[in-house]
Amino acid sequence: MKLERPQQEMLSGRRGPGLEAATSLLLDVGEAAGAKRMLGIQSAHVSGVSYLTGGEGLVKFLSGLAEGGARASAYATLNPAGMDLDRWKEMGLEPAFAEKQELIISLYRSLGIQTTCSCTPYEMGNVPRYGAPIAWAESSAIAFANSFFGARTNRESAVTALCSALAGVTPEYGLHLRKERAPNVIVEVSAEPRDSTDFSVIGHHIGEMLQGDPAEFGPIPLLRGLRPRTPHDLKALGASLATFGVPLCHVEGFTPECESCPLRNIRRRVRVTGTDLARWRREHEPSAPPALVAIGCPQASAPEVDRIASLLAGKRLVEGVELWVFTSRAQRAVAEQSGAVTTIEKAGGRVLVDTCPEVVPYPRSHYPSILVDSMKAHHYIRSPGLAGIPASLLPTERCVRVATGEEKL
Ligand code: F3S
């Protein structure tokens, strides 16, 4: 592989062992994938932040890079941590966990990563240009950047995204090449989603149908008949598809590369009907009141926080049910201006930042069941490798009505 002078210098070790290791790993990945050169990246987005998922291995890895003097060469943002860095006690978390989490954040900061702790970097200034090479981890952000901005990223792991942030480059292969971005599945959607939760259900249903697809860079569906109305519909759709390894989807009439997509690679056609959607809604409804209602997967934007506030205005949460709204610091700052944060907290809810419903080490005795408005959150909260807590699903509006006791289960 051909390396430019700055990468050659990094690889030689003259800029420290951290950058040497990062460049060497990217070189190995590129050569294994048949890349001919490195691409300078517009930005990186780094995952692997929660102490729940990363543990001591993550602390050691980051410490090694920091001690080796590594600093980011590209603008890089960071995924959610396992707690709100200010309000972790209110979340019922242990000081020992908080201490480790804070250490991880400080190590990322020392590596020159912006400690945004958000899975929606595109809502806080890390906005990729159409066609720009980027190196993003976090599946939902990858799907959003590829599909809805038309930027180009492979499905980076926590390690490769961090190495790209440090070295400022990524190997040119896979979804950086136009020919690999063409759809390989056509999905005819006749279901009519009513809200973003339905978009997440449709994404999950498609993802399950395409599971195990042998396409080298993942299934890339072309969706026909779907009419997203808000950016959150697209966030919800992409996040659910990404749960099953979809790195890019084309939505006819909405996504920027759709019109110029060649259709010669289509290997499969599937359908999503109104009956499928109704069945999914029914099967995931709660049968008893939850202990916790968790909204914000992907993290909620300021308009979404505003909407939750408008549903809660003048009301109180019912005894025994908590409501946590997950957002980013940047979006909460906007929602504070509108008074939405005050409205939600006055009603008894919490607007949490820096974290997400998936990576919190929930005290199980406090939270034996969780109600969510997103299929991605539903999928992971139940996962035995993460919280392993029973979860159910309702649209946002009904989640809030359950939390206030207006809707009885
Ligand atoms: Fe974001 Fe966490 Fe959901 S990283 S997409 S809020 S599972």
Ligand 1 center to 326 CA (angstroms): 9
Per-residue pLDDT reduced to its tens digit, 222-276 = 999 999 999 999 999 999 999 999 999 999 999 999 988 889 889 999 999 999 9
Q: Are strands 38-40 and 169-171 parallel, antiparallel or unpaired?
A: antiparallel
Q: Is the pLDDT of residue 66 over 90?
A: yes
Q: Determine the pLDDT at residue 212.
A: 87
Indicate the average pLDDT of the chain: 96
Q: In this structure, what DSSP letter does residue 318 have?
A: P
Nearest in space to 304 (alpha carbons), one of 338, 348, 355, 255: 338
What's the 22 CA to ligand 1 centre distance in angstroms?
26
- Hey, CA dihedral for 4, 136, 212, 148, is it positive or negative? negative
* Residue nearest atom 4 in ligand 1 by C-alpha distance: 119
Helix (H) or strand (E) holding 170: strand 169-171
Distance 377 CA to ligand 1 centre (A): 7
Residue 395 has pLDDT above 90, yes or no: yes
CA distance 267 to 362: 42
Q: What is the pLDDT of residues 286-319, one digit of tens each?
A: 999 999 999 999 999 999 999 999 999 999 999 9
Ligand 1: nearest atom to the Cα of 141: 5
CA 372–ligand 1 middle distance (angstroms): 12
Name the maximum alpha-carbon separation found in the chain.
65
CA 353 from centroid of its chain's CA atoms: 14
Place of tokens 């005290």: 363
pLDDT band, very low/low/confident/very high, at 384 (cuts 50, 70, 90): confident
Q: Which two tokens stand for residue 71?
A: 């600093």
> pLDDT tens digit string along 198-219?
999 999 999 999 998 889 999 9
Q: Closest ligand 1 atom, CA of 239?
A: 5
Question: 247, 239 in Cβ contact below 8 A?
Answer: no
Tens-digit pLDDT profile for residues 363-375: 888 999 999 999 9
Can you tell me which atom of ligand 1 is nearest the CA of 377?
7
